[in-house]
Amino acid sequence: MTTQATARRRFSFLRTAIALQTLTIFLQAVSAGLLLTAPYGEALHSAGARVMYGASVLYVLAAVLAWKPGGGSPRPVLHASGFLVLASAQVLLGIMHVPSVHLPLGVLMFGLSVLALVRR
């Protein structure tokens, strides 16, 4: 049986992972603007994509740790896994240079990430 302190720690880790993911997506929007205006924008946006993907993987890990050992709801794991699928699609669309889908998907991902952060 978990104590309330342990449950709070897991909850805090999950919330921190979602906040980090939200921040990295926001920074991707900033670096996308730099991509259009600065010579170093492409390198910054590419590096940011890797960080954003890593934050999405961390979100899945945090959701699993909050669910499995703590006996919580599996719903955050489903949300995190779905978000990882969206992040994978986003990276592929960026590599394939399909901005007509890449940009709206990025906006959707940011909105969903903010929603997940507010709900936690």
For residue 93, count other CB atoms closer than 10 A to its CB.
Answer: 17
CA–CA gap between residue 86 and residue 88 (Å, rounded):
5
- At residue 47, the pLDDT reads 96
**Does the global pTM surpass 0.75?**
yes
Per-residue pLDDT of the chain (120 residues; tens, 9 = 90+): 455 655 555 568 999 999 999 999 999 999 999 988 999 999 999 999 999 999 999 999 999 988 887 677 889 999 999 999 999 999 999 999 999 999 999 999 999 999 999 987
Q: Where are the domains of the chain?
A: 4-119
CA–CA gap between residue 24 and residue 96 (Å, rounded):
21
- At residue 70, the pLDDT reads 66
The 3-state DSSP class for residue 75 equals: helix
